Amino acid sequence: MKLAIYGRVFESDQKEDIQRLLKELEANDITFSIYRDFYDQIQPEISFVKQPQLFHSSHELDDSFECMISLGGDGTLLDTVTLVQNKQIPLLGVNFGRLGFLASIGRKEMETVVASLKNHTFVEDERTLIHLNSNIPLFGDTPYGLNEFAIHKMDTSSMIKIHTYLNGEFLNTYWADGLIVATPTGSTGYSLSCNGPVVFPESGSFVITPVAPHNLNVRPIVVPDNNVISFEIEGRADSFLCTLDSRKEIVQKNVQLAVKKEDFTISLVRLNENNFLQTLRNKLSWGLDRRN
């Protein structure tokens, strides 16, 4: 078995857990390759039985990799989505961050993680992605995201008008600070914080959620993900922010933008005992009442 290991930032309190993970992998004869920038950070603190393989870009990943382990929070796992691209390498997130909605496996579960990978007792959840089309190149060779696409006004500029269309048919003009189009996976992220609904990962939908709308009767809407959603932007400023997950571009307001479901999917690995409903209850504290 061959794995890739990705991390963004190494902190001293992670040392023991990372050392335990690598020790378990080596003890089970599992080959692993570490993201080069992350290796440079951990190398002075972590001991290896032998020099590990390293990778630095998506081009160095192929179908010999059976899984990529993300060590960090949800933002770190979103980074791995741009690394695996359409290579169909499943992603497993170990939570070294705070909420850990996507990276839901605890840092103290390293032995369980390795045993599940070795024995193939894990579950793969297929997740859809959102793809951005534009009349100028944006986001390099990864114009897609797992969570959401968003349009947002610049800094302290006044609100913008976002004319929105479904398959060319006019939907609404949003007078707002911005607009989010979230995948089912992203419905528990930025969209949820702007009062968007939670939808199940397999629901086959997009959630369109305005950010601080001027008209209070405008509410989030759920649409089938076979729609192409296009936008025309008006505003007093000449540019606005365009984001895919945690990546951003500054875009001129005359740029043509549209989003649709990406042609490929990614898989998130979970342990058998975890599922979406349990994650909702545990991470969002559903039903928790301190009075009882």
| Residues acting as catalytic residues | 74
Residue 104: closest CA among 93, 116, 117: 93
What phi and psi, each to the nearest 5 degrees, are found at residue 67?
-165, 150
Across the strands, what pairs with 92? Answer: 69
Spell out where the chain has E strands: 2-7, 31-35, 53-55, 67-72, 91-95, 105-106, 123-127, 130-134, 144-145, 148-152, 160-166, 169-176, 178-182, 205-211, 221-224, 229-234, 239-244, 247-252, 257-261, 266-270
Using the Cα atoms of residue 113, residue 114, residue 117 and residue 121 in order, give the sign of their dihedral.
negative
